[in-house]
Structure 1
Amino acid sequence: MTYMEGRAEPSQETAALDLFDHTRARSMALVAPLNDEDMGLQSMEDASPPKWHLAHTTWFFEEFILKPSLPGYQPRDDRFALLFNSYYVQAGPRHTRSKRGLLSRPAVPDVMAYRSHVEDALREGVARDAFTLDRDELEALITLGCHHEMQHQELLVTDLLHAFSYNPLLPAYTDAKPATVSEVREPGWTSHDGGLVEIGHDGTGFAYDCEGPRHKVWLEPYMLCDRPVTNGEWIAFMEDGGYETQPLWLMEGWAVREKNGWDSPLYWWKQDGTWWTYSLKGPHPVDLSAPVVHVSYYEADAFARWAGCRLPTEAEWEAAAEQTPIEGNFMDHGALVPVGRRTGLWGDVWQWTSSAFSPYPGFRPPEGAIGEYNGKFMVNQMVLRGGSCATPKLQMRPSYRTFFYPHQRWQMLGLRLAGDK
């Protein structure tokens, strides 16, 4: 499946309005295979319906750009601010997150009309030079809104996968193609000298506030596996009793495993002696050589201990990534499943690190509601690096940090092993 067929991928230097057009078009392409019933699905509190993602990303442009800085702008419906605010307390009241799937109204056509209303107003305001912001401030906010929407594009497809997984028909979102079950290639290792390194965004181009300030970190010499852990290796962990061996697990992780009855990655089951999985391509045999996906931090940490290794720190990962081209299996390729059979730091699966999501030295969130974007989530979550098969490539840079709670599995979450030299 090709999401942006006939469109050139923009670059980091793309003008903000071109990026806006590209990003908005990709969101529409992502929901093109869905029917109206699909658009309202919400399977758990952590997830949101596709319709809500389309509306929320539209609200973001309206709330932070059009309302405060385009004189004369009139919202299509003032009530949408309540429905489609997510967690921005300073922006006003919010509809209960766990009940987004109950919003049968506004209907899909109304959400699409809302998107068009906001897009037309933004483009017209830019054309008339009517915004009260100066051009640099305006372009910075439009760019932030686009990157925010790219994040929701990934959430849209992974939330949809989780919802579809409750359907006994196990529907395919993309064209189903036979999966190849191939042998696992032995991993290689890259050696890194460590020492005093700098990590964090260098100030060139777009970045989220949590990626800075750039600062120095001391690293002892270390090694990284040259590819993520594969399904074949994960099966070996399972067959060796990895899910039943308590000493491999953190105490909290063991409690979560017991409570939820985990004995394999999310969406796996065994059929006639073969491991199967469910993905956006529908049900298919587990590809032994592809990176394992949909595992929690607790599982990743237990696997690393079983393998006699550890998870990398985010500083180790970033120091290595700064020397590595950003090439890999991202959303742009249209696979939407990890494909493996290659080496490299980027794409396929987000990689758990052993680093907590916490502020860098000197971090200060922006003032106002937009400052709630990252800073208030800097507790009890772990950092992942590298992007996934559901991440737009344009989001990627060595300093990019995503973060999830250690028990979560529904995102494209995997792992890479590290060790000491």
Structure 2
Amino acid sequence: MSRPRELPIHMQRNAFDPLPELGEIRRNDGIVRTTSPFGLNTWLVTRYEDVRWVHSDWETFSNTVQADVWAGLEKASAEEKAKRLAGNMIVVDPPDHTRLRRTIAPEFTARRLRRLEPRVVALCEEHLDGLERSGPPADLLRQFAIPVPLLVICELLDVPFADRDYFQRLTAGFLDTSLSSEERMQVQAESLEYIAKFVARNRVEPGDGLLGRMISEHGEEISDAELVGVANLILLAGHETTANMLVLSVLALLRHPDQLDRLRRDPELADTAVEELLRWLSIVHNTTAKVVRRPVQIAGQQVEAGDLVICSLPAANRDPELVERPDELDISRPAPRHVAFGHGPHHCVGAPLARLQLRIALRLLFDRFPGLRLAAEPEFRNGFLTYGLESLPVEW
């Protein structure tokens, strides 16, 4: 059974904005006691420079602590835990993290992404054609923002497009913090079992997808269980986040017509617009919990070895130390060094692909429907590890 839990303050939003109380914490204390999305007692870090430090110093702040809870494995055997967590770069530190990241990072270089770009354009165009044929009103979330990133992940992993609805259910379920440990464990078991079939197939005959190339280039360095874990992480982290970022970006631009008009008049602003939207929206509420390995002071607060720490990404990205007027959306400001994708060793390896999709999808959408507008008030979605919408009703 699902267990409803009151959302921690850092997971609550006022439409696009973090709660004012979160800004007060950043200004006054910088760090406070709180609860993680999975009920762990932690310290919450809110200031930009402190967040970057915690992300960078893996020898002091280890990522291994939340592995069991994050995957719903508190009651699993040691053998089952090892199997389920293999290849999951989020819950390991260097040198294992470095080894795993080295096998996958080449798949997200500019050269590799140029090969994928025509398919991203084609998938966007196909779904915009569908919107145009069906006519307004339309739910931009269900008819565009969800299917396009999902099909891009299918393309990347070389799995059947026919399984996209199944993929969507898995990702949505795993990121729902109201699910019990047993429910999260079941969702992950389904996902790992499904992906294991493609790993086995690619071991015999490597294809041209990500798994096939990883086996061809790093086959002796990475086990089947790790390949399954890496692919599973890409599925979970690469689809839901991009879908929510895309739909919230569209809403943000519709709510700020001056910014949308500026982008339309100057397409050269596309890259900086994406960076500003990533900073301003910060759809991932927080990083995974990290265990403190030695006594340290954060924002003047003594934190002991064994304590847990999480970082508020929206609070850090709205810190006046990062940009002036941080609560304003300004797509013309020079791209700041935001932490929407994290920072340091665990900086999101798929960030270049997310940026590519956002840039292409926003351009094609507003070019196709210059009169795009809201058809009804959207409803924001709470209780998930990523912030988003329940729907985005539009017309044109």
Q: TM-score, normalised by structure 1?
A: 0.26
Structure number with higher relative contact order (C-alpha < 8 Å, ≥ 6 residues apart): 2
Higher helix fraction (1 or 2): 2
